[in-house]
Chains A and B, each alone.
Chain A
């Protein structure tokens, strides 16, 4: 643009009131041009990979059959220390992976009432950490991770490290969250039982 103006600058920039309006209009449209550039980079960068990945994982889940994890739900309902990691790490992970948000919470039906709030807490807390590597589990809420990841990409770093750490730290967090919520639930149930 500048080159052309340099060669045949017969029309001056508008000045005065109209000039101010014209500047305002240009500024207004520049907001959306920038937004459009971002949209195009998202559509060109993330979307094709996402579509292929979602298709592959959706097909895999269908071929395996989500009902396979129901047995695990029955097992996880048992009392005992060794079932804590199963109930608040393995089961929420598999439920979110195979059933996705929000159907993952239906796995709670295999658990006794006293574990249901804790299982829900663990499962729902995993619907974002899992999206770093397995976005099919929660495609409607990708930008919790993708938003922050976009900044990392812009700096020129790879995302694998962040995605993996998010996935693993998420597992630790939901395990702790499950245990804490189970304790609080037990406390409140006992108090309510005593009051009644």
Chain B
């Protein structure tokens, strides 16, 4: 039991059927998560990170999306084969999720109390009164002032940051083992971002929850995560612990991402370095490495064969034939 992973994703493939053909949004990714670990998933828009996050709760809109291969093992049990009604008892109780848009993620016509009580009563046998007390306690935990009063307010009466914190409180109200946070701070002000991230870390410690943080913000990753997956075009291109990744990135893409972050204390640059080119169209993927066209270390071999994700040293796995 001890060496059993909390969550294990094995060779997951997710396809979307579109008018122009089938698109593999996620193409054979594997990763695992330990108890109370924080795993970051970074990548550009459209690299499959959100789809991966949604798939952990089987929330991919279907049709058009479908998990066509692979397993998602939660405490050793596969959830890919679980029925929709079994998933209902799973979502929010075992794995919870918070989303990018706090402005629209809460139901506008019900009070936040009503929504929190719904979640609590969905997964426990609490009476309405007990559920309300529990909801108020959660609001106190995230330091919402006057929780007894604010619980009867509607989402539009709160700021974006406050709504996101309420989402977090709601997500953690049934003590899930894993919290999946899909770009939780993207839509927020920078000052509020830090506040929300601090809240997530604090509650994570208190409840001993594992967190999967999906983001394109490397700063957020550096501050909160223990391990990082870098995704590109539906594949994992690099996996490392956070300090290794930031100190010595091996994959050219990861290096490209890191050098394109503006640094305040370093000498002034004429122009912020960027990664040339664009992400290839998922409908017309190249045969070889998907990053080849944008890569500065590309050689002929890269265009012919796809590099597998391999261990290059103790700390890093990289999908590149010629890593740094």
Q: Note whether A and B form a binding pair.
A: no
